[in-house]
Structure 1
């Protein structure tokens, strides 16, 4: 892989605290303020799309998306399409949900969709492996950790701020790599 440097990635991973991380108090974390503020462009975590579709996105999030440029990751596209794949085709709501996800995906402007490169994916795999070991993640949480790490490192490489309602996991990522930028929100209901 031309874009992946194994030795550099191992040197980069010296931030391993070799201990379980504790979730910090909300007051110590960067949450969206009630009134939207101008700032850097954002990269949306998959939960932003889901919470918006389900009517659980807080007003502060909707206001932020009105004033900041929103970017999308193929990581989120992958997670949304996974959701389409696991839906039971016999369930009466499946067609509606698939249609809604399709509308969201088709609304993404192609010049605002970014794909993680080999460097990001390699580092994300290492970071998620460390996170899984430190926090004792099992099965489903391991795949979620890989996707979260890919999105987080992609945002750093692109100079973007991740917007997410996933406070716990992204708090851990910020503890490991404080140079990352994240804005948290709490969903309604």
Structure 2
């Protein structure tokens, strides 16, 4: 198990701009277009799975998943299982949603599922705390920010790019850590 170096993390936190971040225009962000190409391995944000199930992922996402090595994070498993937990048992669509989420999780090859180590978890907690303070996130957004930070730093450590439809939050993370690797897409509005 990797050690966590508190002093190194605190020194690393000097990237704090100490001001609220502004969302940048799309033209300045790594948003995928209609044509995709081979490249770095991907680590999927939870929204990729959910957008795929709900028919909101653009065709370029499916194309990208076909040509790149796809990896999965235990963060996504947690968030998908949280979704299962909040589904109303008596709702008519619950059984089908649970079946689809279960199939997605079971289809993740075990050798392509990665858990964050203590260093990533510690730095992600620090980064999410800074992000919550800078952006004034309320209590409901804080757990989501923590999970996004874990995924972002986990991908960086693995040498992957995060694939996400969460443009706003990952734009802020890229402003704080420009060396991060993210590919973004705009979900289809249904």
Normalising by the smaller structure, the TM-score range is over 0.9
Q: 1:45-75 CA deviation, whole Å, 9 max, x = no partner?
A: 0000000001111011110000001000000
What is the alpha-carbon distance in structure 2 between the residues aligned to residue 166 and residue 188 of structure 1? 13
Give the structure 2 partner of residue 36 of structure 1: 36
SS at match of 1:116: coil
Q: Aligned residue for 1:65? A: 65
TM-score (structure 2 length as normaliser):
0.98
Aligned to 1:152: 152
Q: Is the 8 A contact 2:43 2:160 kept in 1?
A: yes
SS of the residue 1:71 aligns to: strand
2:3 maps to which residue? 3
Q: How many residues align?
A: 189
2:90 alignment counterpart: 90
State the alpha-carbon separation in 1 of the partners of residues 48 and 54 from structure 2. Answer: 10
SS of the counterpart of 1:3?
coil
The 3 A distance-change label for structure 1 pair 34 and 2 is closer
Query: Against the structure 1 CA distance between its residues 110 and 54, is the aligned structure 2 distance closer, same or farther, given a 3 Å change threshold?
Result: same
1:115 is displaced (CA, Å) by: 0.2
RMSD: 0.9
Task: Indicate the SS of the match to 2:162.
Answer: strand
Task: Describe the shift of the 1:2–1:116 C-alpha distance in structure 2 as closer, same or farther (beyond 3 A).
Answer: closer
Residue correspondence of structure 1 range 41-52 to structure 2 within 5 A: 41-52=41-52
> Aligned partners of 1:114 and 1:63: how far apart in 2?
23
Unaligned segments of structure 1, at least 5 residues = none
Q: Deviation per CA, 1:105-128, whole angstroms, max 9, x where unpaired? A: 011000000000000000000000
Where does structure 2 lack aligned partners over 5 or more consecutive residues? none
8 Å contact from structure 2 (residues 41, 160) kept in 1: yes
Residue 2 of structure 1 deviates from its aligned partner by 5.7
Does residue 78 of structure 1 match 2:78?
A: yes
| TM-score, length of structure 1 as denominator length | 0.98
| Moved >6 Å (runs of 4+) | none
Match of 1:133 in 2: 133
1:3 Cα shift? 1.1
